[in-house]
Amino acid sequence: MQSDSTGIWYFECQVAELESYLLSLQRRSVIYPDECEFLLQHKNELQATSNQNTRGVVPLCHRCVTLIQKDNLIEIIVNREQEKIDHVTQLPLRVALLRQIEIWYQTSPNAITGICLVELDGFSNINDTVGHATGDSILFEIARRLERYNSHKFKLVRLHGDEFALAVTNMSSHEEIWGVSKWIGDQFEAPFNTQKGAVFLTPSIGMSLNINTNGEPVSLLECAYVALNHAKSDPLTREKLFNPQHEQKIIRQVLLESQLNQALDDETDLEIWYQPKQSLHNMHISGLEALIRWRHPNDGLISPGEFIPLAERTGLICKVTDFVVKQVARDLPTLRKQGFEGMISINISANDFLRPNVVQALLDIITEQQISTSDIELEITEGAFISDFDHCILLLNSLKEAGFALSIDDFGTGYSSLSYLTKLPVDTVKIDMSFVRELAASTQARKVYKGMIDICKALDFKVLAEGVDHDDQRAVLKDIGCDSIQGYLLSKPLPLDALVGYLLATCNKTPDTE
């Protein structure tokens, strides 16, 4: 059993069932994979010491998990008293939500349990209008408002960014989930007062119930995500309950998660494609952006728009990042032989910024593959700034000190506002492609873009324009001082073999035959 106030869980199983039981606890997010691996590797030591000890039982411990053998039974104690919480909202994180639902399922298997997944509409504009510190204070206030819920047993967590989840159990009927959703909506009727005035926010809410899932806590959460996506796409309502007719989509997501995880472990079916960047000062290819592609054995190429959000939600995105870095490091010697002298840029997810060892993890890969950090540019998306701006700055400085070049992707949208540029230790600003489309035809668009370039140049940043598809756009960008471009005008993303041919033609160089 588990007392939610202490964060301690107790489980018990037969000695012969220990391996399967530990694996089931791992699947249910009760214990971490490294804890499970250690305990399985040393389970024989537990049994040996227990048999030899005549004055008491010698436990087997690893991190927060302890095994104690008593005759034919093994007690498993999971102590999460010091479980990390989100320090912006002071709420627990995703793993705490899944563990609590698992406890409810075990202790009250017939209880009606549901999740209300909350995402804030238009929150990406908050930092641009009232500042990042104020945005964090609003997230903190939202957490305090949602904590007031008291109609049922509940668990409130912050998933990431502007997403919260309120799980409830012991509802008397399935219809009560709509009452929970309405209560959540009511908490946003009052404005959030800031030093710059009142801010009004509205939530989109996706709901799911355990009657529509396969009994796993993660399925309950995935169903809520499906409902949330439907809610956000419906202009008439901002709340949706998961419909069992959507089950095929859930099944596909669960299968894709498992298959993607396997592909990352085996390093199969995944490819890195590269899109060239061109310097407008000498018109040479100055860099490449690495983009992951998944060639599914049955479905062919799966759109990154489908599997990258899935990887973000399930935590696999960090493994994706590591795979991309490793494969880029392997490809780099081949590209150098074809005359490519620039850096390769790699996208870093907001979830990577939550990893406590992300800098060392990247350095370990770079060292193993025997390339230099100066060969790599890390592209940071705006989502990295929503969780904790100060932490993000510290991490960026650490990456910079390690020798990586840094760039801000999709500048001009969401959080990457001008007010934060002065604080970011980056080298390059990539201006979002939405600003490029009207450049050649609109004098006003040209003035706006030039103003953005001038500001970036005043701060000693290089400027790259994304989404350049036409030669007249390139001409305008060169005229107003842009440093480099990227887009279909140069090339679509290319697999390595095609890229080699492209570089041979572009660099006007025969292959190195050494």
Residue 132: which CATH number?
3.30.70.270
CATH number (domain holding residue 323): 3.20.20.450
Q: Say whether 121 sits in a helix, a strand or coil.
A: coil
Q: Are residues 213 and 280 in the same domain?
A: no
Q: 227 to each of 30, 218, 234, 242, how far by Cα in Å?
A: 25, 14, 11, 5
Residue 109 lies in a domain: yes
Report the C-alpha gap between 163 and 124 in whole angstroms. 12
Q: Are residues 202 and 276 in the same domain?
A: no
Residue 338 lies in a domain: yes
Domain total in the chain: 3
Residue 88 lies in a domain: no
Residue 278, amino acid: Q
Q: Are residues 119 and 263 in the same domain?
A: no
8 A C-beta contact, residue 278 and residue 485:
yes
Q: Are residues 46 and 118 in the same domain?
A: no
Domain end among 26, 49, 79: 79
Give the burial class of 4: count Cβ atoms within 10 A of its Cβ; 0-12 exposed, 13-18 middle, 19 or more buried.
middle
Q: For residue 390, what pLDDT is reported?
A: 77
Q: Are residues 132 and 199 in the same domain?
A: yes
Residue 331 lies in a domain: yes
Q: Are residues 448 and 471 in the same domain?
A: yes
Percentage helix, strand, coil, to 5, in the chain? 45, 25, 30
Q: Are residues 160 and 298 in the same domain?
A: no
8 A C-beta contact, residue 287 and residue 345:
yes
Q: Are residues 347 and 313 in the same domain?
A: yes
Give the burial class of 278: count Cβ atoms within 10 A of its Cβ; 0-12 exposed, 13-18 middle, 19 or more buried.
buried
Report the C-alpha gap between 180 and 165 in whole angstroms. 12
Domain end among 242, 263, 282: 242
Residue 513 lies in a domain: no
The whole domain housing 371 covers 253-507
Domain end among 79, 105, 140: 79
Classify strands 73-79 and 8-14 as parallel, antiparallel or unpaired: antiparallel
CA proximity to 203, closest of 219, 220, 183, 223: 183
Q: 288 pairs with which residues across the strands?
A: 276, 344
Residue 514 lies in a domain: no
Q: Say whether 21 sits in a helix, a strand or coil.
A: helix
Q: Are residues 227 and 376 in the same domain?
A: no
Q: For residue 112, what pLDDT is reported?
A: 94
Give the burial class of 46: count Cβ atoms within 10 A of its Cβ; 0-12 exposed, 13-18 middle, 19 or more buried.
buried
DSSP 494: B
pLDDT in tens, the chain (514 residues): 444 445 678 889 999 899 999 988 887 767 877 788 889 888 887 766 655 544 445 688 877 788 988 878 999 988 776 566 787 888 888 888 988 898 899 888 889 999 999 999 878 777 666 777 788 889 999 999 999 998 899 999 999 889 999 999 999 999 999 999 999 999 999 999 887 788 889 999 999 998 867 678 888 998 899 899 888 877 677 888 887 666 677 678 878 988 999 999 999 999 999 999 999 999 999 999 999 999 999 999 999 988 998 898 888 999 999 999 999 999 999 999 888 999 999 999 888 887 878 899 999 999 888 899 999 999 987 666 655 677 788 889 999 999 999 998 877 655 445 667 778 889 999 987 877 877 877 888 889 889 889 989 998 999 999 999 999 999 999 999 999 999 999 999 999 999 999 998 876 544 444 4
Residue 512 lies in a domain: no
Q: Are residues 398 and 498 in the same domain?
A: yes
Q: 376 pairs with which residues across the strands?
A: 344
Q: Are residues 50 and 118 in the same domain?
A: no
Classify strands 112-120 and 203-209 as parallel, antiparallel or unpaired: antiparallel
Q: For residue 511, what pLDDT is reported?
A: 43
Angle made by CA atoms 403, 285, 428, in degrees to the nearest 5:
40
Residue 84 lies in a domain: no
Backbone φ and ψ of 9, nearest 5°: -115, 145
Q: Are residues 383 and 459 in the same domain?
A: yes
